[in-house]
C-alpha cells in the first residue's frame, strides 16, 4: 500500500515521487493521485509517508496537463473549512486541475495512532455527507454559515475560490449506505472489487439515483485497482505468495487477483477488458512496484493497446 519508500532517505524519496509524476504525464496518464494517510498501511511502521497536500502541490508543480487527485481524505479527520481551503489553494496553484476523492474512513489505525475518536460506520457517513455539502457551499458562496450535526461554519470564507469546483469522487461499497450517499452527492464514484462486483454495484447506483431523483449519467464512474505486471506466471505466483503482499482487504491470493491487475501483459489486458465490458471507462491504478516504473510504463504502452473500448449503447 503506502510502504513504498520503506528504507529510503526522505529527500531521495521526495525526488523520486516527483520524477515518477513527470514520467506518468509524459506517458499520457490523465490523472495523478496522491494518498492521504497519516501512517503506513496495512502494517504501521515509522517509514516515510508524505503529507498528501504538500506532495500534490509538488506533483502539480512539475506537470502541466494531468489532473491532480487527492485520495482519500478521511471525513472525520478534516474540518470542511480547512479542507475547502486546501483544495481551493491547490486548484489555483495547478490551474484548475484538482479532483478530490473523499472517504468516510474505514480503517481504525489512523484514528487510534493520532488519538481521534472512532465514529461508528453510520456516523462516519453522516459526517461525510455534511462535509460534501459544506465544501460545495464554501467553493461557491462568498460567505457561508452552516449548522449541521457534525460540522458548523459561521460567516466562513474560502478565498481565493478554486478555479473550478473540484469534482468530488466518493468511494462506494465500503460502508453500508455509501451508494445512497454517492447517488446524492458525488460527481464521480470509484468502485473496488472484481468485474462482477463492479457490475452489481453499478446497478445499485442506478437504483439509488432513481430514488434520489438524479440522472446516473451525470455521475462519472471509475474502478480502483492495484497493478503489478510480471514477465511470467512463476514470478507472479512467487510475489503473490510473499508475506504482506496481499492488500489488507483480501483474504486469499485468488480473491486479490480477481479484484486487481496482476500477471503478464496479456492476462492483465484480459482483466482490464472484463472491467471495460461492464461499462467502466476509467481506472485509478495503484502500481505495486512503485517507486519502480516497470508496471507504470508497461500498462500504458503494452496493456492499453490490447483493450477494445466498450461499444457505444444503441440509440433508443
Domain spans, the chain: 1-171
Q: Are 20 and 62 in contact (CB under 8 A)?
A: no
- Quote the pLDDT of residue 184: 94
pTM of the model: 0.90
The model's pLDDT over 92-138, given as tens digits with 9 standing for 90+, comes to 999 999 999 998 876 555 556 666 677 787 899 999 999 999 999 99
Three-state DSSP class for residue 241: coil
Cα 297 from Cα 99, distance rounded (Å): 23
Banded model confidence at residue 245, pLDDT cuts 50, 70, 90: low
The model's pLDDT over 186-197, given as tens digits with 9 standing for 90+, comes to 999 999 999 999
- Quote the pLDDT of residue 139: 98
71-77 mean pLDDT: 85
Q: Using CB atoms within 10 A of its CB, is residue 75 exposed (0-12), middle (13-18) or buried (19+)?
A: buried
- Quote the pLDDT of residue 247: 57
- Quote the pLDDT of residue 259: 92
- Quote the pLDDT of residue 73: 82
Choice between 28 and 39, residue whose per-residue pLDDT is larger: 28
Cα 175 from Cα 155, distance rounded (Å): 33
Choice between 275 and 248, residue whose per-residue pLDDT is larger: 275
- Quote the pLDDT of residue 150: 96
CATH of domain 1-171: 3.20.20.30
The model's pLDDT over 127-183, given as tens digits with 9 standing for 90+, comes to 999 999 999 999 999 999 999 999 999 999 999 999 999 999 998 766 657 899 999
Reply yes or no on whether the pLDDT at 46 is more than 90: no
Nearest Cα neighbor of 67 from 132, 200, 184, 162 is 162
Reply yes or no on whether the pLDDT at 315 is more than 70: no
Mean of the per-residue pLDDT values for the chain? 89
Amino acid at each position: 500500500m503506502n510502504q513504498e519508500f520503506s528504507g529510503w532517505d526522505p529527500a531521495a524519496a521526495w525526488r523520486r515521487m516527483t520524477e515518477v509524476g513527470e514520467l506518468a504525464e509524459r506517458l499520457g496518464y490523465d490523472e495523478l493521485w496522491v494518498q492521504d494517510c497519516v501512517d503506513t498501511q496495512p502494517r504501521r511502521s515509522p517509514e516515510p509517508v508524505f503529507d498528501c497536500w504538500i506532495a500534490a502541490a509538488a506533483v502539480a508543480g512539475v506537470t502541466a496537463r494531468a489532473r491532480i487527485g487527492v485520495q482519500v481524505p478521511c471525513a472525520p479527520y478534516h474540518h470542511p473549512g480547512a479542507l475547502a481551503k486546501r483544495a481551493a489553494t491547490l486548484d489555483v496553484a495547478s490551474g484548475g486541475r484538482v479532483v478530490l476523492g473523499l472517504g468516510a474512513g474505514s480503517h481504525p489505525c489512523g484514528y487510534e495512532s493520532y488519538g481521534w475518536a472512532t465514529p461508528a460506520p453510520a456516523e462516519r457517513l453522516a459526517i461525510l455527507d455534511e462535509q460534501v455539502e459544506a465544501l460545495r457551499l464554501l467553493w461557491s458562496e462568498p460567505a457561508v454559515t452552516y449548522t449541521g450535526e457534525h460540522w458548523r461554519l459561521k460567516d466562513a470564507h474560502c478565498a481565493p475560490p478554486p478555479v473550478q469546483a473540484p469534482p468530488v469522487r466518493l468511494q462506494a461499497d465500503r460502508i453500508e449506505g455509501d451508494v445512497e450517499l454517492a447517488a446524492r452527492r458525488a460527481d464521480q464514484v470509484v468502485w473496488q472489487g472484481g468485474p462482477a462486483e463492479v457490475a452489481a454495484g453499478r446497478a445499485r447506483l442506478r437504483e439509488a439515483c432513481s430514488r434520489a431523483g438524479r440522472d446516473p449519467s451525470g455521475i462519472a464512474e471509475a474502478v480502483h485497482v492495484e497493478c503489478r505486471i510480471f514477465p511470467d506466471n512463476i514470478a507472479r505466483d512467487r510475489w503473490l505468495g510473499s508475506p504482506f503482499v496481499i492488500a489488507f482487504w483480501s483474504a486469499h491470493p485468488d480473491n486479490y487477483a480477481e479484484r486487481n491487475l496482476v500477471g503478464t501483459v496479456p492476462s492483465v489486458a484480459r482483466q482490464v477488458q472484463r472491467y471495460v465490458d461492464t461499462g467502466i471507462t476509467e481506472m485509478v491504478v495503484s502500481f505495486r512496484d512503485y517507486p519502480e516504473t516497470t508496471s507504470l510504463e508497461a500498462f500504458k504502452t503494452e496493456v492499453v493497446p490490447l483493450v477494445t473500448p466498450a461499444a457505444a449503447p444503441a440509440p433508443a
